[in-house]
Amino acid sequence: MSTGRQHSESRAIPTRTVLINDTTQLPHDYCTTPGGTLFSTTPGGTRIIYDRKFLLDRRNSPIAQTPPAHLPVIPGVTNRNILSENKKNEANNANNHDGKPAAGEDAQFEMDI
């Protein structure tokens, strides 16, 4: 088509890494749908990074206490027995094995029972 066209120089989209340790630090212009899962970043926007402690803290979220909807039944993987078994093990792990359990993890589990 246009033979005398000038090609502009290309370069990578600049990105910036921002550590987020708390919800209050989420960018104010970040999008979520109510109760939903649609999010957007703009080019040159942020990478969503969560540190270990923040992720572990969220394990006790009320949302995380019920299995996902439409979880398939797979014998030995997702059946009912496993659910209660996991909770028992977690309590033990927090006490005995895991060197760095999330603070208050035990208390939260006891509250749920």
Partner 1 sequence: MATSEPRAAETEEAPADSPVPAVVSAEQYVKHPLQNRWALWYFKNDKSKSWTENLRLIAKFDTVEDFWALYNHIQQPSKLGFGCDYCLFKDGIKPMWEDDRNKLGGRWLMTLSKQQRHNDLDRYWMETLLCLIGESFDDASDDVCGVVVNVRPKGDKISIWTSNCQNRDAIMTIGQQYKERLNLPVKVLIGYQSHDDTSSKSGSTTKNMYTV
Measure the CA angle with vertex 92, ends 90 and 97; round to 5°: 95
State which of positions 12-51 bind partner 1 (CB under 8 A).
15, 17, 23, 26, 30, 32, 35, 37, 39, 47-51
Q: Nearest approach, Cβ of 1 to partner 1 (angstroms)?
A: 31
Total residues at the site for partner 1 (CB under 8 A)? 44
Give CA–CA dist 91/2, Å, rounded.
Answer: 69
User: Tell me, what amino acid is at 49?
Assistant: I
Q: Which of 21, 89, 92, 95 binds partner 1 (CB under 8 A)?
A: 89
Contact flag: residue 1 with partner 1 (CB under 8 A): no
**What x-and-dash track marks residues 90-109 binding partner 1 by CB under 8 A?**
---x---xx-----------
